[in-house]
Amino acid sequence: MSGQQMMEMPDLSNAIVAQDEMGRPFIIVRDQGKKQRAHGIEAVKSHVLAARSVASILKTSLGPRGLDKILISPDGEINITNDGATILTQMELSSEIAKLLVELSKSQDDEIGDGTTGVVVLAGAMLDQALELIDKGIHPIKVANGFDEASKIAVAHLDKIADTISINTSDISENLTSDSELFKAAKTSLGSKIVSKTHDKFARMAVEAVLSVVDFERKDVDFELIKIEGKVGGSLEDSKLIKGVVIDKDFSHPQMPKEIRDVKVAILTCPFEPPKPKTKHKLDISTVEEFKSLQTYEQDKFKEMIKYVKDSGANLVACQWGFDDEANHLLLQNDLPAIRWVGGPELELLAIATNGRIVPRFEDLTPEKLGTAGKVTELEFGTTRDHMLVVEECANVKAVTAFLRGSNKMIVDEGIRALHDSLCVVRNLIRDNRVVYGGGAAEIACSIAVAAEADKQKGIDQYAFRAFAQALDVIPLSLAENSGLDPIDTLTSLKSKQVNESNNNLGVDCLGANNNDMKELFVIDPLIGKKQQLLLATQLTRMILKINDVIISGKDEY
């Protein structure tokens, strides 16, 4: 056989011999061109590239000059945001490795509440650097272990450079000044959001809300007591913090009073209707007398229910279920304003705010189980006759509602997300009042510390240390690029200044203040948030570097 003929022979190493219905043999050669499984190092590279593509999308949304993304859901709903966790959760991702970055941003959001974009950008940068080392022939496990050691040095350095801010417990309502450090921290977190034009108002709302519900002994903030309610119409400036509860309902009858003072509210989970047997039942009515007796029975039951409520001393009823026109009319006749179809979470919040008990049966209603509040007011919005009820001066002053307005649903939704991030920052500072400075200052300081430590390492670890230091530089580089500055010039200048002046507070001047000292500009990040970013990004990078194959359950992959 000639060499030319041998070249043209197909590869039969993966062939299967089969027989047709007549018993004649034939050969099946599997088509390997369509889908090949990457093994070993090549697989790791493909996984890194998949994760890197996601991180590159978020890089332009980092910082106060970061750009927003338009997200269009499958049913055509439009959302505009630059919140990392929101962008990733609404993206359609086919790669299993890219989905890990979504989990990363969610874990940062669940644990800290802010910094979801930064943690994904940081993880993407670490994977970029790891890819370069793998191309040089360094084993992925060696890179992963080196990154782990480098992250410990970076976290320890963050502890060294952290500053402590003072928290004034009297920073509520009129006492809250623009010099309050909590107020400045809340403003920093809002700088990159769509509400940055009104960040003073939102920062004030965030600080007041947290300080209204904080438990300083346990250093804990119960977010269950802070409700964020949004309503389209008006501008962001019309948003306000209400010391009480806002219920997105109106009184059940239009002739009921629009304002009630010295409120005693009965919170019910039982419906205003005659009791029914638990089994399937059928009622046959054949005469007028039977119908009248049934009607009399129903009316007697309605009157009995209303008597239970009146005897308890309640002057307002909040019911989880609806009730028919007859019950509604009887409530109006007996001067008993009522709210129907109140949702479970709203009912619980109303009970917490008014120190009331949720009552499952009318027979259990007693004066001690009623909730108390100073007043309940029905608000009207615009020309649509849209109504909401505001319960103020509650028995439990620790329940507050942030009521946000906006010109459209997208702005209201983004306002809710921004306020949530700001609330989380204030909460984190109450848990741990140590801070590091933003604008990439902390990352540059850690990068310098890790690079200095790299020279002391022996063997391959020094490459991983230097790669980790370069990955940290991506945060200030991205901030400078998004702010229209020259990234390389800005970074080299800041690094040399930090080393020469021994000043760890120098970061990227994103807002054009002609000052790189983040301490003077009071651009800060809670220390626990920054440490969490480094640890989570490093853990995810280690995980991806250790994956060499993706096996989809129930499918053959060749």
Catalytic residues: 83, 116-117, 421
| Burial of 338: CB neighbours in 10 Å, binned 0-12, 13-18, 19+ | buried
Q: Do residues 189 and 363 make contact, with C-beta atoms less than 8 angstroms apart?
A: no
Q: For residue 95, which of 550, 555, 554, 536 has the smallest C-alpha distance?
A: 550
Tell me how far the alpha carbon of residue 526 is from its chain's centroid: 17
Amino acid letter, residue 479: L
How far is residue 321's CA from residue 323's CA, in Å, rounded to a whole number? 7
Q: Can you give 371-395 as a three-state secondary structure string? A: EEEEEEEEEEECCCCEEEEEEEEEC
Strands (E) in 150-204, as ranges, are: 163-164
Q: Can you give 31-90 as a three-state secondary structure string? A: CCCCCCCCCHHHHHHHHHHHHHHHHHHHHCCCCCCCCCEEEECCCCCEEEECCHHHHHHC
Tokens encoding 504: 């760890």
Q: Given CA atoms 52, 56, 61, 66 in this order, what sign does their dihedral have?
A: positive
Tokens encoding 346: 């709203």
CA 169-424-195 angle, 5° bins: 105
Tokens encoding 258: 């629009």
Count other Cβ atoms within 10 Å, centred on residue 269. Answer: 15
H helix intervals, 246-391: 288-312, 325-333, 344-354
Tokens encoding 338: 């009522």
